[in-house]
Amino acid sequence: MTLFRTCASVALALFAASCFSGYRTEADAKALRVHRGTFASDVVLTGELRAARGEELAVPRLPQWQTTIKWIAPEGAEMKQGDRVIELDNSTFSANLDAKRQAVEQAQQQLQQKDAEWAADTLEKQLDVERKRSEYDKAKIDAAMPKEIISARDYNDRQIKFKRAEVERAKAIDVLKSQTMSVKSDRDNLLLTLQKAQRELTTAEQAINELILRAPTNGIVVIRDHPWEGRKLQEGDGVFVGWTLAQFPEMQSLRVEADLADVDDGRIGAGMPATIVIDAYPGMSFPGRVTSISAVAQEASRTSLKRAFRVLVALDKLDLSRMRPGLSSRVVVHAVLQRDALLVPRAALDFASAKPRVHLATGKSVDIVLGACNAQECVVKSGLNEGETLGHA
């Protein structure tokens, strides 16, 4: 009885094994079959939504090239026109403001004092010219007296006085002219000093006013990334004149900016269709199209050795109730789409030889010519017919 049970168990196990083995072979044979279908080869990129256009807030022109962010609005905050967005440190400028005002007052006082002195000096020299001119006119009349009616000595004295009066008059005129030119030169120098002091004061006052950056329009604020630290700008960061600190995006210009690894160069091109999935809404997808690819791959940051091409993807339709600048997105670029293609599973392909080949279910091996491939299958150009059953490579 025990021997019978043992034989029966072995027989049942062999039967079951043969049944299972037969089922797997049939399934595999069905899976590894040449068939026709739609072939798709996708390239997946990561990126984020960004606006192509918008109003920007930048560090204004300052007496010094560097300042610090004292306060900054949170990313994505709703702003109204005129609201405070960023406040830059003004301690450097406010500390020197009193000194600059005092410099302007001193320059003004010095100019007023000198103007009074110059006016008195000039008036005195003008009066001296008038006196010398009067003496000259009198001496001229005396010198014009005919020598026949006066003595020769008197005549000579009058001629000498006339010559002396003429020289004195010319000298007084030259002194007045020299005074006028000197006053003009000195006054111009004082005016330059005053104008410089006023310009520095005005620049400092404007800088203090402009260090509060306000919203140019209604909308959401997007804080820009730090140029080399790979994060958003924040309070305490040092910034330089001309740096863009924030943007008020034009929502109608939203697009996806993604990165294509340099090793994938050439796999996609402008005009290819794409499907965009916003990470915040994984259940939704949006159609789009690749519009451009940068000509040069660049490092993502100063500390990264990875290089990538910048890819711009236009959205066919915007959903402004959900889409916001800065949202991370996955871009599936449909690089190849071929309908009614003859397809072979990759599991059946043998790439060990110089040419790709497959093993037919009959045991025969044939060389084939392949087209594009994806992770699951390849397009067959020649060497196989639809419906042929294949074995594993």
Contacts of 67 (CB under 8 A, 6+ apart): 59, 88, 89, 92, 211, 238, 239
Distance CA 211, CA 87 (A): 6
9-23, 76-90, 210-224: lowest mean pLDDT where? Answer: 9-23
Secondary structure in 3-state letters for 76-105: CCEECCCCEEEEECCHHHHHHHHHHHHHHH
Answer yes or no: are the C-beta atoms of 68 and 235 closer than 8 Å: no
- In the prediction, which pLDDT does 188 show? 93
- In the prediction, which pLDDT does 246 show? 94
Answer yes or no: are the C-beta atoms of 47 and 332 closer than 8 Å: no
pLDDT tens-digit map of 275-331 = 999 999 999 999 999 999 999 988 766 666 788 999 999 999 999 889 988 899 999
Sheet of strand 365-367, all strands in order from the earlier edge strand to the far edge? 349-350, 357-359, 365-367
**Residue 129 binned pLDDT confidence (cut-offs 50, 70, 90):** very high
Contacts of 248 (CB under 8 A, 6+ apart): 54, 55, 56, 57, 79, 215, 216, 217, 219, 220, 221, 222
Answer yes or no: are the C-beta atoms of 366 and 358 closer than 8 Å: yes
pLDDT tens-digit map of 237-251 = 999 999 999 999 999
Answer yes or no: are the C-beta atoms of 349 and 356 closer than 8 Å: yes
- In the prediction, which pLDDT does 240 show? 93
Nearest to 303 by CA among 233, 227, 246, 236: 227
Four-CA torsion 24, 25, 31, 36, nearest 10 degrees: -150
Distance CA 226, CA 237 (A): 9
